[in-house]
Structure 1
Amino acid sequence: MHVPDKAEDKWFVGSHDGGWVAAIDDRTLVIVNFFSGAEAVRAPVCPRNLRSIKPTSLRKIIFSESPASSSCILAAIAYTRSHVTLCKADRHESGWAAKKMQGRMVGDIAFCNRELYGLIGPDEELVKFEIDMELLG
């Protein structure tokens, strides 16, 4: 299978049904479809409002629904696992919002019925995150 040009030389950090992948390098995030080559989102990974987040610091990116949807929300775990970041796919220019975990580690995250859940350590407690849609734009 051929990797779409926009995803070449990038790290794959997430995927979604239908062939969508999230890929990052030191400057950008691309969400591209392996089958069609279509690009859903292209946004800076290091927005002005979160300069401490570097592309190589993102461990995982997940999607609330198809990246082609205007209501899709991206959620990411930082490599340090100290916070979760959120961005609305069609409002990526407004930047990312971060939820710091106050010294607790994020083990994993998942969307279920458009709700974001996480396993928070050290005891892997299941928590539901509140998503402020106004904050996301």
Structure 2
Amino acid sequence: MAINKRVFSFCLITVAVAFSAIGKNAIAASGGYSSSVVAPTIYAKNLWYNVPFPVVGTPVSGTYVGLVYYSWNYKTPRPTGFLVYLCNNTGLVCFDVTNYASGFVDFTGQNVPANQTLRLYSRVNGTGTMSSLYGGSSSVNVNWSN
């Protein structure tokens, strides 16, 4: 009977350690922040202008951007060839948000670290001259998780 008690105790300890390890790895971290900027003024055609949305707070290391609710503002009328993109800090992961001045995009699965800024890129494609196109108040609500 003594052997059975030792085996039983060993099994209980093994199970407790396993659940402890799973519990530590299974802790979900999530959060969000809101950030505002003035959209960049576009002075000339065929050049990208951009502005970073500052990260507010300190997202947990190892977390990534998920849903991002955004709004951007430019004076109207806007010229033909006008473009607006919401991108990660490097400009490698971008969403074309030209047709909707407010809405949401989903960065889930794009591995965009939550502690890095998002950027608003804008430009006007085309030929000829243009009057400066002034940006207005723009914002993001960033959700992040691991």
TM-score where L is the length of structure 2: 0.23
Q: Which structure features the higher share of strand residues? A: 1
Structure number with the bigger relative contact order (C-alpha 8 A, sep ≥ 6) is 2
